[in-house]
Amino acid sequence: MIAGEPGRASWFQRFLLPGFALKAVIIGGGYATGRELAEYFVPAGPWGGLAAMLLAMAIWSLVAALTFALARAMHAYDYRSFFEGLLGPGWIAFEIAYLIFVILILAVFGAAAGAIGAATFGWPEAVGSILLAAGIIVTTALGTSAVEQLFKYVSILLYAVYALFLVLALVSFGGLIGRGFAAAPPPSGDWIAGGLTYASYNIVGAVVILPMLRHLTSRRDAVVAGLIAGPLAMLPAILFFVAMMAFYPAIGSEVLPSDFLLRAMNIPAFHLLFQLMIFGALLESGVGAVHAVNERISGAVEARGRPPLGTRARGAIGALILAGCMFVAARIGLIDLIASGYRFLAWMFLIVYLAPLLTLGVWRLLRTPEPPLEPLP
């Protein structure tokens, strides 16, 4: 396939796959379970929370559009190549920040999977974590094609289940949702901080998914895909947040707001379906994070004239990363991981990614002409 050759890449691959991939990295343990929404949006109330989510969505769209366009201009389809082009020798600063990010979010995913297994099936928490780790290792070992297929089919399941979730929530306790919004005060000043924090640590997903951008045919493709990515990534969260407002403010203290709402609906079959969907969301998020590491290492290996990483090497790298992350999850727990670690990540990525992108990146993009067609690696 030739990158940039019309007709060889599908409309889905050019415009929707990047947004689905961004959603896959972002949704993770807290967004899928509602814990992140409780942490960053519920304190601002119903209207303040929605305002914060729209602010975060706009930031995601802007940053994704700039990142995708710059990546294509630099022919950079893994995070090391991208930051070598953006920061020069300073690229190592992002490498350090990203490794901390991977450890933290995979620990969150492991803790969430364990909590879901315990809440749904009564399993020991280690069982859910181990099943998630196994799924991540197998998928990433199979390479980019398998990762793309996972993002596609889990995304279809996810959007369908979240839409049904909102419908059932309106049927079950729609009156409470309406009263929650009707009685809520206007957005407070806290909503801006919540939106900025949430956007800042999550937007690193735009760099994590660079391997998915090889199908773009032009700079216009990159910008359009980036602008679409924000709404695709935030829509399920907005649907979830609206349902959560039926039990505002008490829902903010729940470890698994999703399980709380599902028990309130009292529809056992949908409860099971939703929890399985969350597990799928955790799987695609973990796969996205580990696949980015595999692609970064594979790119470095190929630059030395060696063959790209094979299935065994990719699986071994994933297993090594996950072993350490699941240990962190067991030691710290889901709420503390999200409350403390994510704010630290927001500041890290603001310094090593967002600030350089919005200054050096924009300057370089304006000075770089549209790149010619290039063969895919």
For residue 332, the model assigns a pLDDT of 60
Asked if residues 376 and 9 have their Cβ atoms less than 8 Å apart, the reply is no
Mean pLDDT, residues 60-65: 98
Asked if residues 318 and 292 have their Cβ atoms less than 8 Å apart, the reply is no
Distance CA 246, CA 185 (A): 15
Domain 10-359 has CATH 1.10.150.120: no
pLDDT tens digits, residue range 201-228?
A: 888 899 999 999 999 999 999 999 999 9
Block residue for tokens 């901390």: 100
Question: What DSSP designation does 352 have?
Answer: I
Helical pair 79-87 and 45-74, crossing angle rounded to 10 deg: 80
In this structure, which amino acid lies at residue 303?
A
Percent of the chain scoring above 90 in pLDDT: 62
Q: Answer whether residue 376 shows pLDDT above 50.
A: no
Distance CA 317, CA 321 (A): 6
For residue 368, the model assigns a pLDDT of 80
- Spatial CB neighbours of 53, under 8 Å, sequence gap ≥ 6: 41, 195, 198, 234, 237, 238, 241
Q: Answer whether residue 147 shows pLDDT above 50.
A: yes
Distance CA 94, CA 87 (A): 9
| 25-29, 98-102, 153-157, range with greatest mean pLDDT | 153-157
Radius of gyration of the chain (CA): 20
Mean pLDDT, residues 185-201: 86
pLDDT tens digits, residue range 333-375?
A: 555 655 566 677 788 889 999 999 999 999 999 988 775 555 4
Distance CA 161, CA 262 (A): 12
Tell which residue, 106, 143, 90, has the closest CA to residue 330: 106
3-state helix, strand, coil in the chain (%, to 5): 85, 0, 15
Domain ranges of the chain: 10-359
**What is 241-294 written as a DSSP string?**
HHHHGGGTTGGGG-S-HHHHHHHHHT-HHHHHHHHHHHHHHHHHHHHHHHHHHH
Block residue for tokens 């403010």: 249
Cα separation of the two ends of the chain: 9
Percent of the chain scoring above 70 in pLDDT: 91
For residue 114, the model assigns a pLDDT of 86
